[in-house]
Amino acid sequence: MKSLIVGHGGREAALGSRMAKSSSLHAFMGHANPTLLDLAEKTGGKTALGNVCDGKAVTDFALANEVDIVLVSSDDPLANGVVDSLVAGGIKVVGPTKAGAEIEWNKSFSRKVIEEISPEANPRYRLVLDPSELDDAVSEIGSDGYVVVKPLGLTGGKGVKVVGPHLADLKEAKEYALSLLHDAPRDGGVIIEERIDSPEFTIQAMTDGKTVFFPPATYDYPYRFEGDKGPGTGGMGSCSQKNGLFPFLTKDVYDQACEITYAAIDYLAKHDRHFSGCMNAGFFATAKGPKVIEFNSRFGDPEAINIMSLFDSDLTEVLLSMANRELTKNDIKLADKSSMVIYLVAPEYAYGKSVEPKEFTIDVDAALEMEVNVLFSAAERVSKNSYKTVGNSRAVSFAAIDDELESAKLRVEKAISSVFSGPLEWRKDIGVFPVR
Ligand code: GLY
């Protein structure tokens, strides 16, 4: 069996490492991710560097290598219709088409879907298409002095700004919204939403578009520094607990969130928007039930690493079942454990500065002996055990599972201090939950 992963992040490294257990793993990447290179080499797969959003290039690579199944798992290729190109090429693929992925790349569409399937799960919001509507929208939604400003399109977790952590007041919120309307007219608007001050969680629902498997909830740490300070990031780490819940998340709220996620997948199916893979649904856990933050049309990064650390089935077979629309809930088994992922990043990460490559060393085999998985993201190999960062994104993740979250975290931290050396930084409070 030959499989192909499209992408180059820690998420793709985690998914690829499971696919490589039962197939010859091929990878189409934007940079030479060391984890994916090693997996392809070990399993006899081929790799290519190119533009992961170029559907024709990805399809040509898949056809040339006669792959049996492709997984497209990151937001930009999905928004650019790479799945559509693969389907047109007659290739089995997991991932939504551009129309299915619109639930992520168009936040206005996503809010409208929620209005139809579960209106009470929508925060109060206004879609602003013209600067003349801004004053009114901010006054209405921000009557308590707070709003959230969201660009409509993809921003890699860095475009959403909230009065409080990112913006001083409603005046700054208006200025930011105005800059989005002027600078990014391609998105056609901006969303002004009420600020909800409740803990967040995500559900990484795996589906073939009909059957949905719900894993434990995951908790992501999107802010750059300890105590949720600093700019927003793609996620500095994430965790899940053995019981599937969190101290702030009851089974009842988790179940309601799963129902809303199921309804979103069902809505897309009924509206002829092909969806398979992972619906990564983000929620606030409020006293009145879950409120949807956003739907993402692919696994989260790092949350995919949590779920893949727990994964106890044959992922290649599961992907084939998804592509054939034959998934059953029994196809997916997860270890009954807690999981911990910590990302290491360059000091400048999330500040938008151009970053000189940073060199660092990791003994990946020594980490494995400690039952800790090292999954590279925006990094390339320099020589054995020596790596450098690529661009200004997260460099490398360390992941472990254990009965308790605390013991998984201790193992990850021990591995980082034993096998890593270099100028990268990481948050020390992954696994600490908000008290609200
Ligand atoms: N960790 C956030 C995301 O993948 O969207």
- Tens-digit pLDDT profile for residues 143-187: 999 999 999 888 766 688 999 988 999 999 999 999 998 876 556
Q: Give the model's pLDDT for residue 427.
A: 98
Q: Give the model's pLDDT for residue 187.
A: 63
CB–CB of 70/91 below 8 Å? yes
Nearest to 281 by CA among 305, 267, 264, 269: 264
Per-residue pLDDT of 285-327, as tens digits, reads 999 999 999 999 999 999 999 999 999 999 999 999 999 999 9
The helix/strand/coil state of 383 is strand
Per-residue pLDDT of 185-217, as tens digits, reads 556 789 999 999 999 999 999 999 999 999 999
pLDDT-derived band at 283 (thresholds 50, 70, 90) equals: very high
Ligand 1 atom with least separation from CA of 302: 1
Tokens linked to 436: 């609200």
User: Going by CA atoms, what residue is nearest to atom 4 of ligand 1?
Assistant: 300
Q: Give the model's pLDDT for residue 153.
A: 84
Of 262-271, 350-359, 418-427, the range with the lowest mean pLDDT is 350-359
Question: What is the C-alpha to C-alpha distance for residues 204 and 414, in angstroms, rounded to an integer?
Answer: 28
User: Going by CA atoms, what residue is nearest to atom 3 of ligand 1?
Assistant: 300
Q: Give the model's pLDDT for residue 354.
A: 72
Question: Which residues 6+ apart lie within 8 Å of 143 measured at CB?
Answer: none
Distance 262 CA to ligand 1 centre (A): 19
Q: Could you tell me how many residues make up the chain?
A: 436
The predicted model gives 335-345 an average pLDDT of 98
Of 240-244, 260-264, 354-358, the range with the lowest mean pLDDT is 354-358
Q: State the chain's mean pLDDT as an integer.
A: 95
Distance 156 CA to ligand 1 centre (A): 8
Q: Is the pTM of this model over 0.75?
A: yes
The amino acid present at 415, given as its one-letter code, is: A
Strand-pair partners of 387: 360, 381
Q: Give the model's pLDDT for residue 113.
A: 98
Number of H helices, E strands in the chain: 14, 24
Tokens linked to 363: 């003994």
**Percent of all residues in the chain with a pLDDT value above 70, rounded to a whole number:** 98
In the chain, the domains with their CATH numbers are: 2-98 (3.40.50.20), 124-193 (3.30.1490.20), 200-421 (3.30.470.20)
The predicted model gives 335-363 an average pLDDT of 93
The predicted model gives 382-392 an average pLDDT of 96
Q: Give the model's pLDDT for residue 155.
A: 76
The predicted model gives 346-354 an average pLDDT of 86
Q: Give the model's pLDDT for residue 158.
A: 67
Distance 205 CA to ligand 1 centre (A): 14
Question: What is the C-alpha to C-alpha distance for residues 7 and 25, in angstroms, rounded to an integer?
Answer: 13
pLDDT-derived band at 8 (thresholds 50, 70, 90) equals: very high
Does pLDDT of 270 surpass 60?
yes
Where does ligand 1 bind, in terms of residues with CB under 6 Å?
A: 157, 220, 234-235, 296, 300-301, 303
User: Going by CA atoms, what residue is nearest to atom 5 of ligand 1?
Assistant: 300
User: Going by CA atoms, what residue is nearest to atom 2 of ligand 1?
Assistant: 300
Per-residue pLDDT of 28-57, as tens digits, reads 999 999 999 999 999 999 999 999 999 999
Does pLDDT of 353 surpass 90?
no
Strand-pair partners of 192: 126, 149
**Percent of all residues in the chain with a pLDDT value above 90, rounded to a whole number:** 91
Distance 133 CA to ligand 1 centre (A): 30
pLDDT-derived band at 404 (thresholds 50, 70, 90) equals: very high
Residue 145 CB neighbour total at 10 angstroms = 10
Distance 234 CA to ligand 1 centre (A): 6
The helix/strand/coil state of 87 is helix
